[in-house]
């Protein structure tokens, strides 16, 4: 292009070369000026529109984002680069970036953990915490797997294939506590022992009470058998002596007897008469067995000559035990002048504690009381 006048020098145009207010927007091509064409700190607030200055002052809008994004940032309900649904999930704290909705629900409910299966998550949720809790099921131990308690493994409970064991290896006592403690069979149908607070201790055989302690000692139901005995037994009371015995005489002269009449042996304390355990009654003429056992009885009755064929017998609890002379009596004395006789008998019988024994006539007869005597003792 031809120039009129002097040709301009080939140098950049500066701001000094442009008169003030000589370039308006119509002289600038759209997009011709970019951010790179504007020097840092070159645009002042005076060069910006008043509306932009107001927005910046209120901090409700940021350069390069839309008005809706500015509103979202101000409300802090959305984050740059995520979708609206993700924004809602983060706000509700029910989902986390990179996991599925079901995983987010599980994390929120704290029933699942990252990297484990659903069944593992269920097991963890049902697990008893170390701090303790409530068990809703059984604990199964195999043979020889022990439940061990105490800092020194002092108490162990286990089954060793054949037997169930509670082993206390500590230095203290193994204590079972309860107001009433009972030991029963596996089916809970029989009691073997029972311990009562402030009361008795009971021992059973085949569910039948045999020994019970009392304030004074103990009560035994049935026979108490011992294979040996230590000590003199001098301090023992209330026991029937093993050889409990007696001998009693009649004090009268000649007496006539009717059938089944008791002979009045009424003296057990003079001459050769005795009663070791106070078991003979001189008023009823009866001996009472102090304990169950085997007893021996004897009698010698002086009779007149004409009554030699008559007999005598024992009554046990008022029932006749026949000891007539033709079977048991031995005529051991014969008076030469009067032909009187001494009829005797000896018998061994089993008795129960409390049985009563006496001597009676088995026919009408006469006897001489001062020469007649009977007695007995416990053999075993």
- Residue-wise pLDDT for 147-204, tens only, equals 999 888 899 999 999 999 999 988 888 888 999 999 999 899 999 999 999 999 999 9
CA contacts within 13 A on the Cβ side of 376: 31
Q: What is the pLDDT of residue 181?
A: 93
Judge whether residue 354 has pLDDT over 80: yes
Q: What is the pLDDT of residue 333?
A: 47
Are 249 and 374 part of one and the same domain?
yes
Residue 346 in any domain: the answer is yes
* Residue 365 and residue 350 in contact, taking contact as beta carbons nearer than 8 Å: no
Instruction: Round to whole Å and give the CA distance between 280 and 348.
Output: 18
Confidence of residue 328 (pLDDT cuts 50, 70, 90): very low
pTM: 0.38
* Residue 338 and residue 305 in contact, taking contact as beta carbons nearer than 8 Å: yes
Q: In 3-state terms, what secondary structure has residue 12?
A: coil
Any idea which residue has 């009563």 for tokens?
356
Q: What is the pLDDT of residue 329?
A: 42
Range of the domain at 198: 180-220
Q: What is the pLDDT of residue 304?
A: 72
Are 192 and 265 part of one and the same domain?
no
Are 165 and 202 part of one and the same domain?
no
Are 184 and 299 part of one and the same domain?
no
Are 215 and 162 part of one and the same domain?
no
Judge whether residue 222 has pLDDT over 70: yes
Lowest average pLDDT, out of 36-50, 60-74, 161-175, 312-326, goes to 60-74
Give the burial class of 310: count Cβ atoms within 10 A of its Cβ; 0-12 exposed, 13-18 middle, 19 or more buried. buried
Residue 303 in any domain: the answer is yes
Residue 318 in any domain: the answer is yes
Are 276 and 366 part of one and the same domain?
yes
Q: How confident is the prediction for the chain on average, in pLDDT?
A: 77
| Structure confidence by residue, pLDDT tens digits, 244-291 | 889 988 877 787 777 878 888 888 666 778 888 889 998 999 999 998
* Residue 280 and residue 286 in contact, taking contact as beta carbons nearer than 8 Å: yes
Residue 325 in any domain: the answer is yes
299: β partners: 345, 374
Instruction: Round to whole Å and give the CA distance between 141 and 174.
Output: 22
Using only C-alpha atoms, the chain has a radius of gyration, in whole angstroms, of: 61
DSSP H helices in the chain: 50-58, 67-75, 84-92, 101-109, 118-126
Residue 128 in any domain: the answer is no
Lowest average pLDDT, out of 24-38, 50-64, 329-343, goes to 329-343
In 3D space, the residue among 211, 277, 281 whose CA is nearest the CA of residue 239 turns out to be 277
Strands 180-184 and 191-196 come out as: antiparallel
* Count of the separate structural domains present in the chain: 3
Q: For residue 327, what is the domain's CATH number?
A: 2.60.120.40
Residue 348 in any domain: the answer is yes
């Amino acid at each position: 292009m031809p120039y009129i006048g002097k040709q301009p020098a080939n140098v950049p145009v500066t701001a000094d070369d442009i008169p003030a207010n000589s370039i308006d927007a119509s002289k600038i091509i759209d997009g011709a000026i970019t951010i790179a064409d504007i020097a840092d700190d070159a645009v002042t607030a005076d060069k910006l529109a008043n509306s932009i200055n107001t927005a910046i002052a209120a901090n409700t809008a940021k350069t390069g984002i839309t008005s809706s994004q500015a509103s979202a940032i101000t409300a802090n309900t959305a984050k740059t680069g995520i979708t609206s649904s993700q924004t809602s999930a983060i706000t509700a704290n029910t989902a986390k970036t990179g996991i599925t909705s079901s995983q987010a629900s599980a994390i929120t409910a704290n029933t699942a953990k990252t990297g484990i299966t659903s069944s593992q998550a269920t097991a963890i949720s049902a697990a008893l915490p170390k701090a303790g809790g409530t068990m809703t099921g059984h604990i199964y131990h195999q043979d020889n797997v022990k439940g061990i308690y105490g800092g020194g493994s002092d108490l162990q409970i286990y089954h060793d294939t054949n037997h169930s064991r509670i082993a206390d290896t500590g230095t203290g006592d193994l204590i079972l506590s309860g107001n009433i403690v009972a030991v029963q069979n596996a089916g809970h149908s029989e009691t073997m022992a029972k311990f009562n607070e402030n009361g008795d201790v009971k021992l059973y055989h085949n569910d039948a009470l045999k020994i019970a302690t009392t304030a004074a000692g103990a009560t035994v139901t049935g026979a108490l058998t011992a294979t040996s005995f230590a000590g003199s037994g001098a301090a023992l009371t209330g026991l029937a002596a093993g050889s409990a015995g007696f001998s009693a005489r009649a004090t009268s002269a000649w007496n006539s007897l009717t059938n089944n009449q008791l002979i009045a042996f009424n003296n057990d304390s003079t001459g050769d008469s005795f009663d070791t355990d106070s078991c003979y009654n001189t008023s009823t003429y009866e001996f009472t067995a102090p304990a169950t056992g085997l007893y021996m009885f004897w009698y010698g009755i002086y009779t007149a000559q004409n009554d030699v064929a008559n007999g005598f017998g024992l009554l046990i609890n008022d029932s006749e035990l026949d000891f007539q002379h033709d079977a048991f009596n031995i005529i051991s004395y014969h008076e030469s002048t009067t032909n009187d006789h001494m009829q005797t008998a000896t018998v061994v019988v089993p008795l129960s504690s409390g049985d009563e024994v006496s001597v009676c006539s088995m026919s009408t007869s006469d006897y001489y009381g001062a020469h007649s005597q009977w007695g007995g003792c416990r053999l075993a």
